[in-house]
Structure 1
Amino acid sequence: MIADLAADQGVWGPGPGDGAAVGAAWEALRTVMDPEIPVLSVVDLGMIRGVEAGEGGRLRVRLSPTYSGCPATGIIALEVARALDAAGFPNAEVVTEVAPPWTTDWISPAGLDRLRESGIAPPPRGAGKRALVAPEERIACPRCGSTDTEVISAFGSTACKALHRCRSCLEPFDSFKCI
């Protein structure tokens, strides 16, 4: 059995007809938080490409890093294996896949909401493909909603975020970069 990207929703999760083991694995994976953005799970981020149950119930989890040089990828893979072990899947295989490359469009709607609630401006849908060629888009302040914002630094608290300031409420905030 395999659970993959729900193409119509743009989010990852178990599909209809997936077995109990695969569903339990997805629940365990929802507890693995990104170490650099701890308000999001690896499922919310769309880093889990799929969960497959093979012979004997052995699981294979396909993990996609947010970018190929992400320093947290090894730790995330370890935490995924630990969560699966704690959920009763001690021999789960975690495989890193880099193609196709991860995109911010894979962040779940709940993940986008959690970013905003934590003071991080989420990336707009469909922005990943436009990021390299489109003119700079106005980023809305996650605190007051104003689009009267400015970039302070192309790099925020992590490499995947930029630092902005809202000219309306004067608060600084990170924005998740479009990838």
Structure 2
Amino acid sequence: MSQTISIAAVYESLEHVMDPEIPVLSVIDLGMITGVDMVADGVHIKMIPTFAACPAVSYIQHNIKTVVENELGIAVTVEIDKQVHWESNRMTDAAKEKLKNFGIAPPQILEGEVRAEIMLHTPCPHCGSEQTYLRSPFGSTLCRAIHFCKSCGQVFEQFKPLE
């Protein structure tokens, strides 16, 4: 292992590992990385899925390994961190802005328990109107809900808030 590779370089490389369902967001944007350790034979990365039943977990693990190995030329192991659970508050502000620009309403910041009411007040990512309603708590993936905007007439998805 080269001594010139730093943990900061690994995090920079992880910025290039994109979520397969929302390709404008990296695993860093989503707050999926819980640890990076330099080890004798390379780097050990801990990650958490955004949903426990996320079907893309092994795909994301493979992408993390491939991207970091290709960019930095070191051996990479990727482990699911079972000590930490993902919550939507882990998303960066930049991630929420990227989501909005992608046409998906970002999750609201959670303070306390998740209540159904929090999904009822979701601004439209297309026009910004708060004249929206929840059409279905189930979207195209487990992490999304479907809303309708009365102002612009657009159907849009929201990344569900989770704690």
One-letter identity of the residue aligned with 1:141: C
What does the per-residue CA deviation read over 1:83-116, in whole Å, with 9 as the maximum and x for residues that have no partner?
1110234321111013321000000111010001
Identity %: 36
Shift of 1:67: 1.5
* Corresponding position: 1:144 with 2:127: yes
For 1:36, the equivalent position in structure 2 comes to: 21
CA distance in structure 1 between the aligned counterparts of 2:127 and 2:87, rounded to whole angstroms: 26
Equivalences, count: 158
Cα contact 1:42–1:48 (8 A) shared by 2? yes
CA distance in structure 2 between the aligned counterparts of 1:37 and 1:98, rounded to whole angstroms: 24
The aligned runs of 1:8-157 (5 Å cut-off) are 20-55=5-40, 58-126=42-110, 129-131=112-114, 133=115, 135-136=117-118, 137-157=120-140
CA distance in structure 2 between the aligned counterparts of 1:98 and 1:169, rounded to whole angstroms: 42
CA distance in structure 1 between the aligned counterparts of 2:56 and 2:93, rounded to whole angstroms: 23
TM-score, reference length from structure 1: 0.82
Cα contact 2:132–2:148 (8 A) shared by 1? yes
For 2:145, the equivalent position in structure 1 comes to: 162
Which segment drifts farther, 46-55 or 86-95? 86-95
CA distance in structure 1 between the aligned counterparts of 2:23 and 2:133, rounded to whole angstroms: 25
One-letter identity of the residue aligned with 2:14: L
Shift of 1:150: 1.0
Shift of 1:20: 4.5
3-state SS, counterpart of residue 28 of structure 1: helix
Q: Which runs of 5+ in 2 are unaligned?
A: none
TM-score, reference length from structure 2: 0.90
Q: Which runs of 5+ in 1 are unaligned?
A: 1-18
Which ranges of 4 or more aligned residues in structure 1 deviate by more than 3 Å? none
Cα contact 1:24–1:87 (8 A) shared by 2? no
One-letter identity of the residue aligned with 1:165: F
